[in-house]
Amino acid sequence: RKEVEQDPGPFNVPEGATVAFNCTYSNSASQSFFWYRQDCRKEPKLLMSVYSSGNEDGRFTAQLNRASQYISLLIRDSKLSDSATYLCVVYLTGGGNKLTFGTGTQLKVEL
């Protein structure tokens, strides 16, 4: 089983739709959680951290369920510019501040 698993998609949604991605992680000792965004042929960039209480940044809402070991990302009112791959990232204890990346979920927002 992979340490971090995501549905690869693609998710094709019309502009204005609400879309949700889930991610599961295998190590219950995981400490921190993030969503990164990666555009085609570009580097990953931090979208938002994920906190236990859930957090929101504009149209984006992240949730963490430690009991079930999954993380979610909700995007409301999708824009064309949201088209990208969304990477779930988990920080596991150990040396080097190591992050483990999911393979990503591809989102395509269409007119």
Partner 1 sequence: NAGVTQTPKFRVLKTGQSMTLLCAQDMNHEYMYWYRQDPGMGLRLIHYSVGEGTTAKGEVPDGYNVSRLKKQNFLLGLESAAPSQTSVYFCASSDPGQGTGNTIYFGEGSWLTVV
Is residue 33 a contact partner of residue 89, using CB atoms and an 8 Å limit? yes
CB of 101 to partner 1, least distance (A): 4
For residue 44, is the peptide bond before it cis, meaning its omega torsion is within 30 degrees of 0?
A: no
Does residue 87 interact with partner 1 by CB under 8 A?
A: yes
Does residue 98 interact with partner 1 by CB under 8 A?
A: yes
Q: According to CB under 8 A, which residues from 44 to 63 bind partner 1?
A: 44-46, 49
CB atoms within 10 A of CB 68: 9
Strand partners, 34: 49, 89
Does residue 42 interact with partner 1 by CB under 8 A?
A: yes
The smaller minimum CB distance to partner 1, of residues 44 and 55, is found at: 44
Is residue 3 a contact partner of residue 26, using CB atoms and an 8 Å limit? yes
Could you give the CA distance from residue 10 to residue 72 in angstroms, rounded to a whole number? 16
Does residue 1 interact with partner 1 by CB under 8 A?
A: no
Please identify which residue in 84, 102, 107, 109 interacts with partner 1, judged by CB under 8 A. Answer: 102
- The residue ranges that bind partner 1 (CB under 8 A) are 4, 8, 32, 34, 41-46, 49, 87, 91, 95-99, 101-104
